[in-house]
Structure 1
Amino acid sequence: MKKVICILKSLLPMLLWLGMQSVVSILFLLTGVLTGKGPLWATGGELPYVISVLANGVTFLLGYLWLQKKKKETSGQERRFSLGAAVKLLAVGVIFQMIVSLLLAGMQVVFPKAMESYAQVLENLGVFAPSVFSVLYTVVFAPLTEEMVFRGVTLRILQEELPFAAANVLQAVLFALMHGNLVQSSYAFLAGLLLGTVVKRYGKLSAAIWCHFAVNASGLFLGDISVPGIFLLLGISFGVLLVFVIIDKKMEKTNEKYRV
C-alpha cells in the first residue's frame, strides 16, 4: 500500500507543473480580454514562449524550495562535479542527441506520417526558426524545470519506497508521457533513464541539468546537420569522452598511490 501511495504522490510534481502552465496561460488570456486585445492574444508571436518561461521558472523555484526542505544527510562520499565531469557530460549529451538524430532519420523513411506530426511539433517549438525566447525556453528553462520535476522531486519521492532502478524507470515513463507524442516520447524515455542515472552517479541534480542542456542545445543548433556530419560529431564526442575517462582513471590511480 505504501508503494502505491508513493507512486501516486510522485504524480504531484508533474501535475503542479501542468497546473502552473495553465494558471499562467489563463492570466495572459484574461489580460488579453481586459485590454481589448482578445483571448487569442497570448497565442501569437513570442508570448507562448514567455508563458512557458514564466511557468517553468515558478515551477523550478517551488521544486528547489521543496528539495531544500526535504534534503537529508546521505551516507558515503558525494562525487565531485568537476570540470572534467562537465566535459564528459557535455560529450554524453551530444552523443545521445546525435544517436537520436540518426534514429529519426531512419524513422523518416519507415514512418513518414508520424515524422510529419513530429516536424510540426518542432516547428511549434521554434527549432526551425529559433528566436530569443524559444532558445531561452528550449536550452535553459526546459532542462532546469524538467530535471527539477522528474530527476529532482519525482525521483526522490519514488526512492522513498522503491529501489533506484524501479524509481528511475517510473520517472522516465512520466517524463515520456509529458512530451505528448509518440516520437518524442520514445526518445524522452531513454533520455529520462540516462539523466536519472547521471543523478545517481554524481549525486547532484546539476549534473543532469548540464547533460540535459547539452542534449537540447545540440538538438536545437545542430538540428539540420547532415548524416555525415552526425557521424563526424559522434566520433569527436566519443574521442573527447574517452580522453577524459582515461584522465580520470589516471588521476584515481595517482590519488590511490599517494593516499596515506
Structure 2
Amino acid sequence: MKNFISTLKFIINLIILNIFSSGISILFTCIFFKNPIKSTLISISLSYLIMFSLLYYFSTSYKYLISKDDFKKISIKNVYYIALFGFGFSVILSILTILLDSIFPSYTEISNKMLSQNDSIINLICSVVFIPICEEIIFRGMIFKFLKRYYSLIGAIFLQALFFGISHGNIVQGIYTFIGGIALALIYVYCGSMMGNIILHMIYNLCGLVIMPEYLFADESINYLFMIIGVIVFIFSSLKMISNYKKGSRIRLLNDQ
C-alpha cells in the first residue's frame, strides 16, 4: 500500500506540473503564432522545456533521478542494432496501427492531424529530436527509475509503459505507445544508458511520421516486401541484442567472482 501511495503521489505531481507547463506553452503559442493548431509540436516542446526548468530549479528530489551516468556513450555496434530494431519495430507497429485504425475509424482524423504537423523543419525537429529526448527523460528516466525503487524490474517496465500509453490520450496511440514503452525500457536496460532508448525513439518517430507514411502502403506492390524486410530486420536485431546482453551478463558475473 505504501508503494502504491508513493507512486500515485509521484505521478500526480508530474501531471500537475505538466498541466501547468502545458497551459503556459499553449498561451504562448496562441499569442505569438498566427495558427496555434499548426504549432502544436512547438507547444509540446515548449511545455517540456518549462517542465524541466521548474523541476531543476524548484525540486530537490525529482531532478536527482537523472544523472550524467544515464547519458553515457554506447558502442557503434549497439547504435547499429538499435537502428535496425527501430526500423523493424516501426514497420510492425505501423501494421498494427492500420489494423487498429479499421477498428477505431475516429483515429484517422487524429493521424492526419499528426502527419500534417510535419510540414516545416521546426516541427520536424520537434517531433524527431526534441520530443523523443524529453519523453525519454520523463518516462524511461524519471518515472522508470522511480518505479524501480518500489517494484520489480518487470513491474516497473509494465507500469511506465502503461503511463506512457495513457499520456497519449486516445485508444489507438495508447495501445502502440504502450508496446513501444516496453521496447524503449528494454533498450534502456540493455544499453545501461538513455542514449539507446533516445536513439530508438528518434528512429521510431522518423519512420512513423516521415518514412512510413511516404512509402509503406503507398504502393501495393511494395507492401509485402516492406513488411517482410521489417520483420526480418526486427528479428535479426532482437536476437543480436539478446545475445550481446547475455554475453555481457556472463562477463559481469565472472568479474564479480
TM-score (norm 2): 0.76
Higher helix share: 2
Q: Which residue of 2 aligns with 1:101?
A: 94
Residues 150 and 171 in structure 1, CA contact (< 8 A), matched pair in contact too: yes
1:151 correspondence with 2:146? no
- How far the C-alpha of 1:162 sits from its partner, in A, is 1.5
1:89 correspondence with 2:77? no
> 1:205, 1:123 → 2: CA distance?
30
Letter in 2 for 1:142: I
Is the alpha carbon distance of 1:241 and 1:69 closer, same or farther for their aligned partners in structure 2, counting shifts above 3 Å? closer
1:21 correspondence with 2:34? no
Residues 151 and 199 in structure 1, CA contact (< 8 A), matched pair in contact too: yes
Map Cα deviations across residues 116-137 of structure 1 (whole Å, 9 max, x no partner). Answer: 3222112222358632233122
Q: Which residue of 2 aligns with 1:57?
A: 49
Residues 24 and 55 in structure 1, CA contact (< 8 A), matched pair in contact too: yes
1:177 correspondence with 2:178? no
- How far the C-alpha of 1:237 sits from its partner, in A, is 5.3
TM-score (norm 1): 0.76
Is the alpha carbon distance of 1:164 and 1:246 closer, same or farther for their aligned partners in structure 2, counting shifts above 3 Å? closer
1:132 correspondence with 2:124? no
> 1:7, 1:137 → 2: CA distance?
30
Gaps of 5+ in 2: 218-222, 251-257
Is the alpha carbon distance of 1:240 and 1:15 closer, same or farther for their aligned partners in structure 2, counting shifts above 3 Å? same
Gaps of 5+ in 1: 254-260
Letter in 1 for 2:149: E
> 2:68, 2:114 → 1: CA distance?
40
1:208 correspondence with 2:200? no
- How far the C-alpha of 1:178 sits from its partner, in A, is 0.7
Residues 41 and 127 in structure 2, CA contact (< 8 A), matched pair in contact too: no
Map Cα deviations across residues 146-203 of structure 1 (whole Å, 9 max, x no partner). Answer: 1111111111111222222111111111111111111110111111111112222222
1:69 correspondence with 2:64? yes
Residues 127 and 223 in structure 1, CA contact (< 8 A), matched pair in contact too: no
1:220 correspondence with 2:209? yes
- How far the C-alpha of 1:80 sits from its partner, in A, is 6.4
- How far the C-alpha of 1:57 sits from its partner, in A, is 3.0
- The alignment yields a C-alpha RMSD, in angstroms, of 3.6
Is the alpha carbon distance of 1:71 and 1:146 closer, same or farther for their aligned partners in structure 2, counting shifts above 3 Å? closer
Partner SS state of residue 115, structure 2: coil
Letter in 2 for 1:231: I
> 2:248, 2:5 → 1: CA distance?
45
Map Cα deviations across residues 48-96 of structure 1 (whole Å, 9 max, x no partner). Answer: 332222222333556678776346899xxx9962111111111111111
Letter in 1 for 2:91: M
> 2:156, 2:207 → 1: CA distance?
28
Letter in 2 for 1:84: K
Q: Which residue of 1 aligns with 2:2?
A: 2
Residues 56 and 141 in structure 1, CA contact (< 8 A), matched pair in contact too: no
Q: Which residue of 2 aligns with 1:258?
A: none
Residues 143 and 213 in structure 1, CA contact (< 8 A), matched pair in contact too: yes
